[in-house]
Every structure is written in structure tokens, then in C-alpha cells.
Amino acid sequence: MALPDQMLTGDDGDGVVEVADESPEALWALLESRGWGDGLPVVAPTTERVERMLGVGGADPDASLGVVPPRDGAATVRTVAINAVMAGCQPELLPVVAAAVGALTRAEVNLRGVQATTHPVAPLVIVHGEVVDRCGFNAGTGTFGPGNRANASVGRAVRFVLMHVGGARPGAGDASTQGQPSKYTYCIAERVDASPWTAYHRSRGIDAASAVTVACGENPHNFHDMESAEPIRLLTKAASVMATLGTNNACISQGEFFVILCPEHAATIAGHGWGRRDVQSFLYERARLPRGVLREAFDTVAWVPWLAAIEDDSVLLPMTDDPDNIRVLVAGGAGKHSCVIPSWGMTKSVTVAIEP
């Protein structure tokens, strides 16, 4: 659709667009004509707003955060700031978005595959440490949303970078067959005050006050347990959610599972002396399917050699080849609902410090 002349007055060819005003009508027309946005209203990325965003933290606006495929767009601090403005971020959130974008461009994420696949995968952004309270993230009731500006706008800003800088628009750059709701925004915060275990980022060797994890996966798969007073029955439900044939992780052995425990489930588990590693080990042992069931379901598998070498169809195979691929942390509020997030398969999560 061509932009009406009265709304778009010019483009100087240097990434600046002249519009008559920032009325909803003018912005809608601009977004539609350029293929920008996620279908929801945006904040106009004026020079003033972007400069205000860049004024926090003092990062070099031209500093590179990485290259975003498949368009191979250059993600600079300035470009990320423009997208953060559009997404509705407050200026103090820019370091979080920048850290997440930088993490996504790491080779182990396999972002080209994540962006272009027919799978519905979306990067989950998990925020850790002192930035959670300082910037107003919701780690408690409803952490996955809706209703909190920091969670919503950070996840949305990351999505905007993937769409605008990376070119991952549905049908062109993003081939996801059905998409998924978490492609709009997908950001939570770790509930470290209610966690019985070390903060997640520190368990991954990141010695920083604040950090962010990016993990490319499916929407959350809920599991509820209102009754169990001990870990085995409770975590058997998590294992049941993990051991399904529908996920990419069923035929790809290096996949990760993020197990996001609610505080009450975590307390029940830790109350019996179980640490994070115990949860990982238990789920590795319990989340299994018979080799014959898996091979009947898939003509092609991408399994590590030791798994591929097993020929007995009665052997129970783990859903991932290493307990460390099962990542455990605490988020959410009161109640007894937790979730499992299976990865896309050929991707690894990354945790990095947030630079002030």
C-alpha cells in the first residue's frame, strides 16, 4: 500500500523518514507501507526519543552488537535503540535489549536457523539480577504476561530487531508455518527472592550483578501439581511434558529444555534437599521414550553417536543427551503451575552480563 502523500513527505535515503505527524493514522500507514511492526501500535521513533534512549548508559551508538540474519542487518546500539523506542521501552531498558540482541548473534544460537525455520521458535528473554527490581520487571504473578511494561516492551523490542534488522517477516525471512504468540513478545524475569537455588546466571558462570539469557524455543507448556508434597511425583509431570513426540527435541538430541518452576513447586523440591542438579538429573532419567517409539515416529534423527548406536527398541532414551541441557530456574507467583519450554533443537541458550 502506498503511503498517502499527506502522511509521508519524504525519505532522505539515510534512514530518516519524514511524516506529517505521529497520529495513529500516519504511523499505521507508515508501518504498512514499509512492512514494519508487529501489527500493533508503536511509539514513533523520533530523533528526540532515540537520543533520549541513547543518553542512558553512555554506550557508543555506533558500537556493533552483532549481525542479524537472514538479512544480515547490522545491529548497532543506535539501531537497537530505535527499535526499543518503537516497542515502548523506557530508556533504562536499552542495556537489557542490547545484551539480549548481542547474545542472540552468538554462533551457538544458530540465529539464521531460528529466524528462517518453519518451526514456530521464538527467543525467550530471561532477565536476572538487580536489574529486575531496578527496572520494574515482573518476576512474580503473570511473569509471562500480560500487564508489565518492562517484560512486554523488552521482548517486543527484541522481536522488532529480529524483524526489522534481521528481516524476519512472516513469509519473507520467517517461514514459520503457523507462528506462535511468543513471537510478539517473550520476556520473563527470574524470581531469585523465591528461589532456593543460586541465581541462574551465576550457575552458568556469569559473575555479574545483572544478566540476560536468550533461549530459542516453543511457547511454554504448562504442568500443574496441586497435591504433591515431594519432588518425584511433581517432577514426573514435568518429565511427562518433556517426553512428547511433537517437539523438535524428540528427534534432535542436543536440544535444551527450560523448566521454569513456580516458587511453590521449587520450595517443595528444595524442601527435600534437592538442588538444581538433582532436578536436572531426575528429569534426564525420567523424561524418556522407548527407542522403538521414537524410531517409529521419525525417519530421520539427529542424535549423538552414543544414542544412535543403541539398537534395542525397548531401551528408554532420554529426551536430550546431557542433563545439563535441562535448565532450571524459578519464576512466577503464588499457585502451583510451572512450565517446560522445549527448544527448537539446533540451538543453544546463551547467558551474558548486562553492561550498565
Partner 1 sequence: MRLLSPEGTIASAPALAAAPVASLAGQKLAVLDNGKPNARLLLTTIAERLAVRTDAVVSLVAAKATAAEPAEPDILRQLAAARVVVTGSAD
Contacting positions for partner 1 (CB under 8 A): 15-22, 30, 36, 44-47, 50, 67, 71-76, 78-79, 82-83, 86, 110, 112-113, 117-118, 160-161, 164-165, 175, 252, 299-300, 302, 344-346
Site of grid cell 511468543: 182
Nearer to partner 1, 45 or 95 (CB): 45
CA–CA distances in Å: residue 304 to residues 131, 210, 308:
38, 34, 6
Question: Do residues 64 and 33 touch, judged by C-beta distance below 8 A?
Answer: no
CA–CA distances in Å: residue 269 to residues 130, 248, 274, 284, 345:
25, 28, 6, 16, 27
Question: Residues 307, 217, 168, CA angle at the centre, nearest 5°?
Answer: 125
d(CA 188, CA 155): 8
Nearer to partner 1, 164 or 191 (CB): 164
Please state the closest distance from residue 22 (CB atom) to partner 1, in A: 6
Site of grid cell 550483578: 209
Pinpoint the alpha helices (H) of 199-275: 200-203, 231-242, 263-270
Please state the closest distance from residue 97 (CB atom) to partner 1, in A: 12
Nearer to partner 1, 300 or 314 (CB): 300
Element (H, E) at 27: helix 24-34
CB atoms within 10 A of CB 128: 28
Q: Phi, psi (5° rounding) for residue 327?
A: -105, 130
Nearer to partner 1, 82 or 329 (CB): 82
Nearer to partner 1, 262 or 346 (CB): 346
> Beta 210-217 vs 350-353: how paired, if at all?
antiparallel
Nearer to partner 1, 56 or 175 (CB): 175
**Is residue 190 exposed (0-12), middle (13-18) or buried (19+ Cβ within 10 Å)?**
buried
CB atoms within 10 A of CB 87: 26
Please state the closest distance from residue 328 (CB atom) to partner 1, in A: 25
Question: Do residues 264 and 341 touch, judged by C-beta distance below 8 A?
Answer: no
Nearer to partner 1, 84 or 188 (CB): 84
The beta-strand segments (E) located in 112-183 are: 122-129, 169-170, 173-174
Nearer to partner 1, 60 or 72 (CB): 72
